[in-house]
């Protein structure tokens, strides 16, 4: 049996459910993650005909590395519930899960992710409003928001003064990241700095934003991704500390970060 200290401050390549099953109950303080959205199993968003918005010709149009992002919806929902079950198990009684997803309408039916999150103790819904974007469909307005479900254990509390933040957050998408769907650094900094968590798990680590923020705030991380390429990307990014853009976003925390600015 491997324990969290074996995984701490490491990127682990593999199936996130199988990896999380190796982590004992209640030994992680916080989970921050955004799973693949099953975008190839969709209608009306330009993915099927190869446009893909700002990712035209990029990885997201063809699916993620090692994952095509195209599952039957029922199978996808079950997979995500299984993932959330493991996340909830490994979080301690003072911890929480910040689960980022996106609502959409498909074939006239609202997918508000209730088939994924129902039964879990959702304490609050946070709206992440994205700045910018391009709309290729004249049939509806430009989508500009995603949803973060705060799934909290019974004793979870925010850090001092963090409750002053509202429940609608506006952050610009990360446009200079080779991963097809990266978290904005400022978004993850808002989440992590709003808690007292010391060990943060991201089971869909992607390009490593959660790890970069955790390191900068003096916390520990556990990063899991099925893609060896993304794990290598994350390791390289963490090794560079933070880019100039990331330093600019995180200036208020620089006294804590004690990181050297490095051009890329």
Residues of the chain with pLDDT under 50: 44-64, 180, 243-245, 247-249, 251-264
The per-residue pLDDT for 11 is: 94
Residue 9 is assigned to a structural domain of this protein: yes
The per-residue pLDDT for 20 is: 97
CB 204 within 8 A of CB 33: yes
The per-residue pLDDT for 97 is: 98
| Number of independent structural domains in the chain | 1
Instruction: Report d(CA 178, CA 146) in Å as an integer.
Output: 21
The per-residue pLDDT for 259 is: 36
Residue 262 is assigned to a structural domain of this protein: no
Instruction: Report d(CA 189, CA 97) in Å as an integer.
Output: 15
The per-residue pLDDT for 258 is: 36
Enclosing domain of residue 33: 4-257
Residue 91 is assigned to a structural domain of this protein: yes
The per-residue pLDDT for 72 is: 87
Residue 98 is assigned to a structural domain of this protein: yes
Q: Which residue has the tokens 């506006």?
A: 170
Q: Which two tokens stand for residue 151?
A: 């799934």
**Buried b / exposed e along 48-57 (16+ C-beta atoms within 10 A):** eeebbbeeee
Residue 11's H or E segment, with its range, is strand 10-13
CATH number of 130's domain: 3.40.50.150
When computed from its CA atoms, the radius of gyration of the chain, rounded to whole angstroms, is 18
Residue 245's H or E segment, with its range, is helix 244-249
- Given CA atoms 17, 117, 185, 141 in this order, what sign does their dihedral have? positive
The per-residue pLDDT for 160 is: 97
Residue 264 is assigned to a structural domain of this protein: no
| Secondary structure of 116-134 as H, E, C letters | HHCCCCEEEEEEEEEECCC
Residue 263 is assigned to a structural domain of this protein: no
The per-residue pLDDT for 140 is: 83
Residue 87 is assigned to a structural domain of this protein: yes
Beta bridge partners of residue 4, listed in sequence order: none
Cα angle 24, 122, 221 (rounded to 5 degrees) comes to 40
Residue 173 is assigned to a structural domain of this protein: yes
């Amino acid at each position: 049996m491997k324990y969290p200290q074996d995984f701490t401050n490491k990127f682990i390549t593999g199936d996130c459910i199988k990896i999380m099953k190796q982590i004992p109950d209640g030994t992680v303080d916080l989970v921050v993650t955004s799973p693949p959205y099953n975008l190839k199993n969709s209608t009306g968003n330009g993915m099927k005909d190869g446009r893909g918005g700002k990712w035209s010709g990029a990885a997201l149009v063809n699916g993620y590395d090692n994952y095509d992002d195209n599952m039957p919806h029922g199978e996808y929902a079950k997979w995500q519930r299984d993932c959330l079950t493991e996340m909830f198990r490994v979080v301690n009684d003072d911890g929480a899960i910040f689960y980022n997803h996106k609502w959409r309408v498909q074939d006239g039916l609202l997918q508000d992710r209730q088939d994924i999150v129902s039964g879990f103790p959702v304490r609050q819904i946070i709206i992440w409003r994205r700045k910018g974007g391009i709309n290729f469909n004249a049939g509806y307005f430009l989508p500009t928001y995603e949803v973060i479900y705060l799934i909290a254990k019974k004793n979870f509390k925010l850090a001092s003064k963090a409750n002053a933040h509202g429940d609608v957050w506006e952050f610009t998408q990360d446009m200079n990241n080779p991963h097809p769907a990266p978290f904005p650094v400022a978004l993850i900094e808002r989440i992590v700095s709003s808690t007292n968590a010391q060990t943060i798990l991201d089971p869909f680590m992607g390009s490593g934003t959660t790890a970069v923020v955790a390191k900068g705030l003096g916390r520990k991380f556990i990063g899991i991704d099925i893609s060896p390429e993304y794990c290598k990307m994350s390791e390289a990014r963490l090794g560079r500390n933070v880019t100039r853009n990331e330093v600019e976003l995180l200036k208020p925390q620089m006294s804590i970060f004690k990181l050297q600015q490095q051009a890329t």
